[in-house]
């Protein structure tokens, strides 16, 4: 299987803490979209500024779908299932978090992941 690649916002505290939290259980290559060559993935800076991307040997996932995939790989299958099964609610929640990174709830989540 090809190396799992996560393309994320390296300037985002929640994103960095999430990457570190995920690395405790799974092996992957993390690329900060600000400095990475995105052309091999067919992605633009604009796309990557809006959501996280996960690239495997066979698929490319983004946003809530990428989060659910990573949670499942990490062993958090119940939470991954909730994100996946919630459909538009999960996608809307992801977009809200991505758009409100400096809000109190997002900062609290970031601190939880840091521990």
Selection from 16, 7, 10, 18 nearest residue 76 by Cα: 18
pLDDT digits (tens, 9 = 90+) for 44-82: 999 999 999 999 988 999 999 999 999 999 999 999 999
Q: What is the mean pLDDT of residues 34-52?
A: 95
The band of 114, judged by pLDDT with boundaries at 50, 70 and 90, is confident
Query: In which residue are the tokens 């495997």 written?
Result: 56
Q: How many domains would you assign to the chain?
A: 1
- pLDDT of amino acid 2: 60
Whether 61 contacts 67, CB under 8 Å: no
Rounded CA-CA distance 72/31 in Å is 20
- pLDDT of amino acid 1: 40
Q: What is the mean pLDDT of residues 33-43?
A: 96
CB proximity list for 78: less than 8 A, separation 6 or greater = none
pLDDT digits (tens, 9 = 90+) for 2-26: 689 999 999 999 999 999 999 999 9
pTM of the model: 0.91
Q: At what angle do helices 63-74 and 88-99 cross, to 10 degrees?
A: 100
- Largest Cα separation within the chain, whole Å, is 39
Go through the chain and tell me how many residues it has. Answer: 115
Domain that holds residue 89: 5-114
Rounded CA-CA distance 78/6 in Å is 21
């Amino acid at each position: 299987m090809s190396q799992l690649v996560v393309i994320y916002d390296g300037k985002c505290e929640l994103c960095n803490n999430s990457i570190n939290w995920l690395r405790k259980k799974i092996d992957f290559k993390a690329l900060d979209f600000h400095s990475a060559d995105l052309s091999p993935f067919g992605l633009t800076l604009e796309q990557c500024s809006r959501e996280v991307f996960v690239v495997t040997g066979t698929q490319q996932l983004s946003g809530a779908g990428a989060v659910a995939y990573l949670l499942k790989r990490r062993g958090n299958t119940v939470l991954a299932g909730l994100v996946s099964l919630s459909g538009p609610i999960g996608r809307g929640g992801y977009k809200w978090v991505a758009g409100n990174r400096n809000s109190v709830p997002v900062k609290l989540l970031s601190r939880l992941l840091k521990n």
